[in-house]
Amino acid sequence: MKYTLYAPNKICGDINLPSSKSISNRALIIWALTDGGILPENLSVCDDTQVMIDALKSTEPVVDIKAAGTSMRFLTAYFAVTPGTRILTGTERMKHRPIGILVDALRYMGADIEYLEEEGYPPLKITGKHLYCRPLSIPGNVSSQFITALLLIAPTLDEPLSIQLLDDVVSKPYIDLTRCIMSQFGADVEWTDVDTITVTPGKYKPLKFVIENDWSAASYWYEVLALCDSYDSEVNFTGLQDGSRQGDSVVRYMFSLLGVKTAFTTDKETGSQTMTITRHNCILPRLEYDFSNQPDQVQAFVACCAALDIQFKFTGISTLRLKETDRIKAMKAEMLKLGIVLTEEDGNTLSWDGKKTKADDHIVIDTYDDHRMAMAFAPLSIKYPGLTINNPEVVSKSYPTFWEDLEKVGFEIRKEE
């Protein structure tokens, strides 16, 4: 399947973004660990959350989480403390995404986990058992999901669990999001030092919990507005919270540098909030930013800045090699099709000094089984009419209605098998 895109001159509409898969998957693990737990409301309908739900309800010995990295990390810890033996596996790409740091930490606490193929990588054979609390020291610069997986199971243990994070911590807002959600369910989890987080034992309490909508998904609409030529363009959203603990909620400030402004209004009767983004002038000649805390935003900002002829230097991107694809390599290859020559430094920096080469006559973007590749490049059809996206169905991983929402605001999408 491939989609060829043509954008309208003016972008206006009301969009109901998907609920947050990051919050959904954390809340689901807590629900499964809570006696008499109440299933969270407004759960994400994306692929990653559906495989989590299926895994938690399954009685089969083999659990296939497909391409869901969050599910692989969270379920590894969950299965390690719950009765039974399971084999946890996924796609071929998932079998090459490292999980050794998390497995080593769980084994240090007494977990029974075996590698079934390559050492340090899924698939895993996990037999649930009682774990012991020992002070942990683990790298903080690989994946915050390893840390979150350990935190989520910590209240079920007999003694306090302290985790010291070594080196620079990446995606720290996601750790704080975990801590915030756990606290709402009655867990005692605090930063007890600048590099140490401690969880006191105590059961999660049943709670009615409503998942908020996804700020990560909003970023592609900010990109659309930044690229749109019409200053009369605006998009309205419901379900996004002002003051959200989602790490990617900072896109409202990041995209203000690119001329997209954000405003919240509150209905006096219902208390519900509506967020509106509008298009304004952008005179920024160059942008430098450390994406250590927002790695999922790199693709959108690389594509958007280059299309606006804004030179950039983006650091803190080393974890992009461990995502659904090697996102650094993929971005360099696909941006070259647009004539944009990116430079990589030390696997942690991606920059553009304005260097261009001849663009392809017909730009066809490959998505590498990565939802964020599809969504980051789709808005570029505003500047490159007729841009084609291969395998557009990959957006189901986080934003299943993405293409329908683009059509809702006037994009023409020509679909071919």
User: Are the C-beta atoms of residues 121 and 95 closer than 8 Å to each other?
Assistant: yes
d(CA 256, CA 190): 32
Residue 2 has a CB neighbour count (10 Å cut-off) of 15
d(CA 59, CA 63): 9
d(CA 370, CA 394): 6
Give the contacts of 194 (CB within 8 A, at least 6 positions apart): none
Does an H or E element contain 372, and which?
helix 371-377
DSSP string, 110-146: T-EEEESSSTTSS-EEEE--------EEEESSS-HHH
Closest CA to 70 of 245, 307, 281, 323: 323
Give the contacts of 57 (CB within 8 A, at least 6 positions apart): none
d(CA 413, CA 417): 13
DSSP type of residue 206: P
DSSP 3-state percent helix, strand, coil across the chain (nearest 5): 35, 25, 40
d(CA 276, CA 240): 10
Catalytic residue of the set 48, 214, 296, 366: 296
DSSP type of residue 273: E
DSSP string, 247-261: GGGGHHHHGGGGTEE
296 is catalytic: yes
d(CA 139, CA 174): 15
C-alpha to C-alpha distances, 290 to 144, 297, 318, 327, nearest whole angstrom: 16, 11, 11, 16
Q: Annotated active-site positions, please?
A: 296
